[in-house]
Structure 1
Amino acid sequence: MVDVCATPLKPQSAPAPLRPIMRMGTASVGPRQWQDETVKQIKLSKSLSKKTEKEREYGRQHDTLPHLRDVLARHSNTIAFGYVREVRVVVIKLRENLITENEEVKLLLKGKESLETMLDNLRKDIIMNKKCVDVRRTRPKREKDLDEADKMIEMERNELENMKRNLEMHLKHTKKHLIFMDQSRKRLARVLDERSRVLDLICHSKNSIRHDHLLKSQLMNPASTGGGGLFDNIDAASRPNTTMASGMMTPKPDNNRINEILAKTANVSGDLFAAERGDKDALMKSGVYTARTFRPLDGERPSTPPISNLGPYTPEAAEAIDESRDLIEKSRDLRVKISDAVDSAEREEKRLHSIVNDSLTQRLAETITLMQHLSMGEAENRTAFNRNARHYEMTDVTRGYNLGPVAYSDLQTRERLDRPMVKVYQRHPGTNVPDARDLIRGNNQLEESLEKTQRNLALLHLSNIRIKEDQRDKKAAADIDASIIRFRKKRSDHRWVPGQI
């Protein structure tokens, strides 16, 4: 403390004053109180000057810097940029899930089309089976007995209906799952549109996320780009041994202290430059976590932000993504089941078609074999009929010969029963000739033979009629079976319309 009342020493080189200098408090003319008040004011003024000088020096080191608005604007931009980049990560994740779900919907639609095609083929096979049954009902009565071909056709119909019900169940589940996937796609698109609202000023490319450190290096090191940047002022303030325009050296400021002052002045908490330094702990402590803090290397995927109601990764987005992934997994399992069901139905359909065709072909072969035997039997019957007819004619001629002429006058003398030789022979008693009796017996035998032969001819004729009827029926049945086989082979490619059958 300097004594304001002490008389300063007069330097020898100082010029002589124009008037005498009087010490304070040595006045003899003026009143004492008047002099004391003046001295008191002088002391108070000097103490205030020292105090204000100290506060000025303290304020020079700790007061808010002139570029606070720029720092706060840049800090806000950093937070906004980090949030936007995190949102971009979420948007890319949503878009990837949406694209994956769209591709899965396309694949599931192809599976649905294969199901519908297979069901259409099964329906056509059932229609063809019913048509085969209806055509086989038109066979002759003697050919309508139940055979193995009918059993195979019935078995085919039952198996086709079972496969049809199974595929219809898969188709029902597929349509229901497609509805769920469509709702999930709409939800993803809605969340994606809502999240994309803040991406108007940022590149949407996924690769740009990997190279955000280039932008940071340009912002942090503007000299490397040949121009100034927003960090010029703060870098100049934080750089040691900085020379001011007056050439005076300024002391090195404390960056942490500056951050605290800026944070207190801006009424914000935490480290304003933690995002610039990449300090994760400070960012987590301050509640500010941005994608600018940690960036993936080339070829790595960016990390997903934590779920937060007011953050980039909202629970709605997380639920939409989880729902889409769950539906995609179920869709893949469903596609595998559809593929297995369609392949199994196709193999079973071909197997049943082959079994029925083989049974019908075997029945046709058996029918043709019987027709050939019937033809041989008809030929033998015709031969026997001709032989018996000739025998009947010869027997009838023989009977006529034995009966002799119709008129008695046409008989020769040697044929008469009263010829002279017989009359002479009958003169003695008991001498009757057997001519008349034997002739009558022989005629009776011939008449019986004619009757038997006529009956045999009638039976042969009836048998021939039945053989011909059986042949006709067999031919009709063979034609029907052959037409069914041709019909089934012709319709086996399923390139026909049910209404045209």
Structure 2
Amino acid sequence: MTTEGMSLQVIPLGSVTVGPKSWRDSTFRSIRWADHLVRQTRAARPATCSQPRSYSASAGHAAKCSEMHSKERNKMPRSLTATSALPKSFQRIPEAPFPPSSLREQCAAASVAVAGEYMRMVRDVEVHLRRQAGRVNQEAIMLERERGHLEKMLHSLQASLEVNRRSSEGRTRRPANSETEKDGADYLLAFERRELTQLKRDLEGALRGAQSQLQALVQSSRQLLQFAAERAQVLELLPPSGSNRGCGSATQSFANADPFSPVTPECKQVLQSSASALNQSRLLRAKVREMLTGAIARQRECHRSVNDGLVKKIAETVTLEQSLTLTTAATRQAAFRKQREVNCIRHSHGRAKGPESSSDLLSREKLNRPVVQVYHRHPGTNLPEAARLIQGSAVLRRCLESSEGELLRLQRACQRLTEQLHCKRAAAQVDAAVVRMRRQQVDKRAIPVILQQWAQRRQLSCVQ
């Protein structure tokens, strides 16, 4: 029996039998036992099978070697391969292949591969977290801009309320009691005050909501950056371009959260809360934008309606003032005519009464003149001169009293018209000053131009 290629072969014995059969059988048993030991210890395997170059190659080589041994075992005689005849103490359990000499290098390479894969997964998670934090920051910036618009709009509403208050106080300085009664302009000012107050309450509520949402976004961004910093603790040895997995693998990895994986349940929860905060912020921004455009439109409509009402009131007052001027002139002219008539009636009444002293009477005016005395000589002959003079004097006296009463009423009416004229003129000046103050105090620059354009587009769309 010789060794060839580390495998045992049976050499045929000679034809001459010298020793006893037991001696020969003992030798055969020793040969079979040695062959079995060689196969069990895999001492007959080639060097290429016992020293693989890598871990994956060792598995392939082990499969090849096992296949080669199975083929050799099938080729060998049945008497040499059978182990059933051996005692149980001589039968051994097959062992694993002998580890190669580069086992430590292979284990180190496998560890580096596992660590590198984990680092790349962590890099994907970190990039996703930082991108989400960037989106949250951008949303916070846009929401902060809307919050600034809300504050400007509230400042404008506060200024409009102050203008409304000053307008109401200014209209109370109208001169007469008849001019201080509530009219349509006062009702418009009260309506504007209610509208502006309601808008202020609504915008203040929206401002509180925007501030709380900003705090939530800031908190979410801080948590995202904190988790990203925690993920970055294992990325010191990974180059910046070490992640080539893409966003799809990161999104797929977020579906399976594990406490010992790159995506922990807390990290997944923070991402979900940040996504919810982003959606809420977008909805809140849209709502705030709608409220701002509506508030600007309502504020302009109230301001315009009040100004139009005041202008109409001024026009009405000016029309009444013109009518009062004409009526006052006509009344004054009638009073002057009545005064001339009264003077004439007084003169006629004085002439009808005659002189105050009898010495001032003329001879033709005396009732004891010679013609009258001669005419009275016959009975029943009385002249109507005295009765007519008495009746004429009484009629003139009544006319004088009536004309003097009419003149007094005309003078009083003229005085009343003059007073009303002054009141209307003063009321028109007060209302004009209020309108001028309202137009000067309303600063259109307090509202951003973009919001004014949106409000104008909304009004145009509503009109169409």
With normalisation by structure 2, the TM-score equals: 0.74
Are the counterparts in 2 of residues 124 and 494 from structure 1 also a CA contact under 8 Å? Answer: no
* Aligned-pair CA distance for 1:167: 1.7
Counterpart position of 2:166: 131
The percent of aligned pairs where both chains have the same amino acid is 33
Letter paired with 1:86: M
* Aligned-pair CA distance for 1:457: 1.5
What do you get for the CA RMSD once the two structures are aligned?
2.8
- Establish whether residue 77 from structure 1 lines up as the match of residue 90 from structure 2: no
- Establish whether residue 63 from structure 1 lines up as the match of residue 129 from structure 2: no
- Establish whether residue 422 from structure 1 lines up as the match of residue 372 from structure 2: yes
Counterpart position of 2:94: none
* Aligned-pair CA distance for 1:55: 5.2
Counterpart position of 2:178: 142
For 2:101 and 2:121, the matched residues in 1 are separated by: 32
For 2:111 and 2:202, the matched residues in 1 are separated by: 62
For 1:425 and 1:303, the matched residues in 2 are separated by: 148
* Aligned-pair CA distance for 1:455: 1.4
Are the counterparts in 1 of residues 159 and 442 from structure 2 also a CA contact under 8 Å? Answer: no
Q: State the SS of the aligned residue for 1:209.
A: coil
- Write the deviation string for residues 360-413 of structure 1: whole angstroms up to 9, x where unpaired: 111111111111100011000110011011111112222222233333233222
- Establish whether residue 152 from structure 1 lines up as the match of residue 188 from structure 2: yes
Q: State the SS of the aligned residue for 2:383.
A: coil
For 1:78 and 1:459, the matched residues in 2 are separated by: 118
For 1:54 and 1:469, the matched residues in 2 are separated by: 136
* Aligned-pair CA distance for 1:57: 4.7
Which runs of 5 or more structure 1 residues have no equivalent in the other structure? 3-8, 10-24, 26-39, 211-294, 497-501
More helix by share: 2
* Aligned-pair CA distance for 1:135: 1.7
For 2:122 and 2:259, the matched residues in 1 are separated by: 13
- Write the deviation string for residues 304-355 of structure 1: whole angstroms up to 9, x where unpaired: 4232211111112111111101110111111111111111111111111111
Are the counterparts in 2 of residues 98 and 188 from structure 1 also a CA contact under 8 Å? Answer: yes
For 2:424 and 2:215, the matched residues in 1 are separated by: 57
Q: State the SS of the aligned residue for 2:355.
A: coil
Q: State the SS of the aligned residue for 1:64.
A: coil
For 2:204 and 2:168, the matched residues in 1 are separated by: 25
| Equivalent of 1:161 in 186, 197, 211 | 197
Q: State the SS of the aligned residue for 2:243.
A: helix
Are the counterparts in 2 of residues 160 and 349 from structure 1 also a CA contact under 8 Å? Answer: yes
With normalisation by structure 1, the TM-score equals: 0.68
* Aligned-pair CA distance for 1:157: 1.6
| Equivalent of 2:430 in 458, 462, 480 | 480
- Within 5 Å, which residues of 2 pair with 1:276-425? 295=245, 301-304=248-251, 305=253, 306-425=256-375
Are the counterparts in 2 of residues 209 and 302 from structure 1 also a CA contact under 8 Å? Answer: no
Q: 1:151 to 1:169 in 2, by over 3 A?
A: same
Matched residue pairs, number? Answer: 370
- Write the deviation string for residues 413-466 of structure 1: whole angstroms up to 9, x where unpaired: 222111111111111122222222222222222222222221111111111111
For 1:204 and 1:382, the matched residues in 2 are separated by: 101
Q: State the SS of the aligned residue for 2:101.
A: coil
Counterpart position of 2:147: 112
* Aligned-pair CA distance for 1:137: 2.0
Letter paired with 1:423: Q
- Establish whether residue 209 from structure 1 lines up as the match of residue 257 from structure 2: no
- Within 5 Å, which residues of 2 pair with 1:489-500? 489-493=439-443
Counterpart position of 1:257: none
Which runs of 5 or more structure 2 residues have no equivalent in the other structure? 3-13, 20-26, 51-96, 447-464
For 1:169 and 1:53, the matched residues in 2 are separated by: 86
Counterpart position of 2:9: none
